[in-house]
Amino acid sequence: MKRFWSVAAVVLALVACSAFMARAGDSGSMSSDAKSSDAKSSDTKSSETKSSMSKSAMKGDAALQAKLEALERSTWEAFKSKDAKAAMANISPDSWSADMNGFAPASQIESMMQDMALNSYELSDFKVLHLGKDAVVLTYSATSNCTYKGQAVPAGPYFCSTAYVSKGGKWTGMYHQETLAMSAMPSAGMEQTTK
């Protein structure tokens, strides 16, 4: 799973930035007096609504996080068992991935699986970041016992993120990124010498 899902994350980030900028632009069209008056009158209504909405959103986030965590774990299991069909059931054929070896399209998953032996793994610290109504990023940490083309792969930890898009009610992975933690990297060239 060291290469799997790229372009989608940039697009999703741009969408999120555009939405933020649009909201910021909307607030700039009112006079400061109108803004102040509107803010005061809506504070009471807003706090009541936010309270009930935040409880509902937290339940929704927990359910969505559990669903995406299950998808992510099943994809890792597919890599462990070298089941390309099972992995592709969770991701878009147009998806990309990035890891220490570079970028790879989903079309390379089957050949990657042939070169990889994922013996064990551990996933933790899942969190969901909403980019929009139908787009989220699932972040988590991973460690693994893995070889690629016969060479040991660092165990990690890795900081992972997968961009998911909801299409027709189904969450599909569009981009996956794995970044090796600095603490797991060899210190070659990073040691300081004292004189």
Asked whether the whole model's pTM tops 0.75, one would answer no
Residue 184 scores a pLDDT above 80: no
Q: How confident is the model at residue 27 (pLDDT cuts 50, 70, 90)?
A: very low
The domains of the chain are located at: 7-26+53-183
Residue 9 scores a pLDDT above 50: no
Q: Does domain 7-26+53-183 have CATH number 3.40.30.10?
A: no
The reported pLDDT for the residue numbered 20 is 34
The answer to whether 160 and 62 are in contact (CB under 8 A) is: no
Cα–Cα distance measured from residue 106 to residue 33, given in angstroms and rounded to the nearest whole number? 53
